[in-house]
Amino acid sequence: MVQNTPTSVVTIDRFIIEQEQRFPEATGALSGILYDLVVAAKMIANKVRLAGLADVLGAQGTANIQGEIQQKLDVISNDILVKALDHGGRLCAMASEEEEGIITVPDKFQKGNYVMLFDPLDGSSNIDVNIPVGTIFSVLRRVSPGGGPGTVEDMLQPGLKQVAAGYVIYGSSTMLVYTTGHGAHGFTLDPAIGEFLLSHPNIRIPEHGRYLSVNDSYEKYWTEPVKELMRHYRGMDGRRDPMNVRYVGSLVADFHRNLLGGGLFAYPANTKSPTGKLRLLYECNPLAFICEQAGGAAIDGRQRILEVQPTELHQRAPYFVGSKADVEAAADYLAKA
């Protein structure tokens, strides 16, 4: 459930400033990070929009730290984000799903009190067939002494410590959704003026979802409690009306639909991936922060995902995120394991 579009035009810059003014102690650094992110999002949106015309489709010929083949737009998007964010004096380090270690801020630039982690182009394997893709980001306050370079320890904080998180979906329209812990708000890019405008204030996800997003091809690798859970979502146990199965294979696209229409995205642990597949820091935590701010929930199958203590930069986790009642059902069924 989403509130009606406001009658007055509110740009994302105005919205960020008005939110900042609610907190007299704010330094403006977090707002500056969001401004830089908006610029990067516009640049990536332009690349995605021209993907079928420019030489940016297809594989790069290299693999990322997870061993996945990088697409050309993965590398381009990663570079855009780094260059947009490394010089503003607000960050002390970054981390990307596409790079093995942390990304340091060049010595010639001032170091700030925040770190950012991001998946530069989620779902990029679908870009060649024109399926929506997206950027996911998470912002944390550094825990290492200020003034110097950031450290891995600055990144390895539970999701509860996030001060901002969001995603950009590049689809039929380009939309940015973010939270700073005071509700989840969506902005749609108006290409005529090149500005993100407030289109979805105070997003609220329905308590019970209509959509189930899960890759059924892994069913033979699921545990019996997971199979029972999926039968429950389909109404096969007679305890609920069946959910409609909608799975794009692009996390941002599936999550966005479920956030607005109600639903659950599930990537359970299985015998092939016993620790899950999605990245805790780059995907699970930021989307969970948004979902909780919209009234939803997210777990790893046993505990609230935002309470998981990370131990590795590229740590993976099982994931259930979406409408609160549907996530609670997952917790109940998986407690049997």
DSSP 44-110: HHHHHHTTTTTTT-SEEEEE-TTSPEEEHHHHHHHHHHHHHHSSSSSEEEEEETTSSS-EEPPTTS-
Average pLDDT over residues 189-215: 97
The confidence band for 49, taking pLDDT boundaries of 50, 70 and 90, is confident
Q: Residue 154 belongs to what H/E stretch?
A: helix 152-155
Q: What pLDDT, on the 0 to 100 scale, is given for residue 51?
A: 67
Residue 55's pLDDT band (boundaries 50, 70, 90)?
low
Matching fold, domains 12-200 and 211-334: no
**Structure-block tokens of residue 140:** 């944390």
Residue 316 vs residue 25, higher pLDDT? 316
pLDDT band at 53 (very low <50, low <70, confident <90, very high): low
Rounded CA separation 175/186 (Å): 7
Phi then psi for residue 329, to 5 deg, are -65, -40
Euclidean distance between CA atoms 174 and 187, whole angstroms: 9
Residues 254-259, mean pLDDT to the nearest whole number:
98
| Residue 172: exposure state from Cβ atoms within 10 A (0-12, 13-18, ≥19) | exposed
Domains of the chain, by residue range, sit at 12-200, 211-334
Q: How far from 208 is each of 96, 143, 245, 249, CA to CA, in Å?
A: 33, 38, 14, 22
Identify the band that residue 62 occupies on the pLDDT scale cut at 50, 70 and 90: low
Torsion 39-45-46-51 (CA) sign = positive
Mean pLDDT of 190-199: 96
Within 13 Å and on the Cβ side, how many CA atoms surround 261?
Answer: 16
For residues 76 and 73, give the distance between their C-alpha atoms in angstroms, rounded to a whole number: 5
Q: Classify domain 211-334 at the CATH topology level.
A: D-Maltodextrin-Binding Protein; domain 2 (3.40.190)
Query: Which amino acid does the sequence have at 241?
Result: D
Residue 213, number of CB atoms within 10 A of its CB:
25
Mean predicted lDDT score pLDDT of the chain: 92
Burial 278-316 (b: 16+ CB within 10 A, else e): bbbbbbbbbbbbbbbbbbbbbbbbeebbbebebeebbbb
Answer with the residue of higher pLDDT: 43 or 57: 43
Rounded (10°) angle between helices 72-85 and 29-49: 150
User: For residue 108, what pLDDT is reported?
Assistant: 94
- Give the Cα separation of 209 and 259 in Å (integer): 9
* pTM, full prediction: 0.93
> What's the pLDDT at 5?
46
Give the orientation angle of helix 224-233 with respect to helix 324-334, to 10 degrees. 150
The answer, yes or no, to whether residue 65 has pLDDT greater than 70, is no
CB atoms within 10 A of CB 39: 12
* Percent of the chain predicted with pLDDT > 90: 82
Residue 90 is predicted with a pLDDT of 97
What are 289-324's pLDDT values in tens digits? 999 999 999 999 999 999 999 999 999 999 999 999
Asked whether the CA dihedral 186, 287, 43, 123 is positive or negative, the reply is negative
What is the identity of the amino acid at 302? R
Considering the domain 12-200 in this protein, what is its CATH number?
A: 3.30.540.10
Look at residue 1 in the predicted model and tell me its pLDDT.
Answer: 47
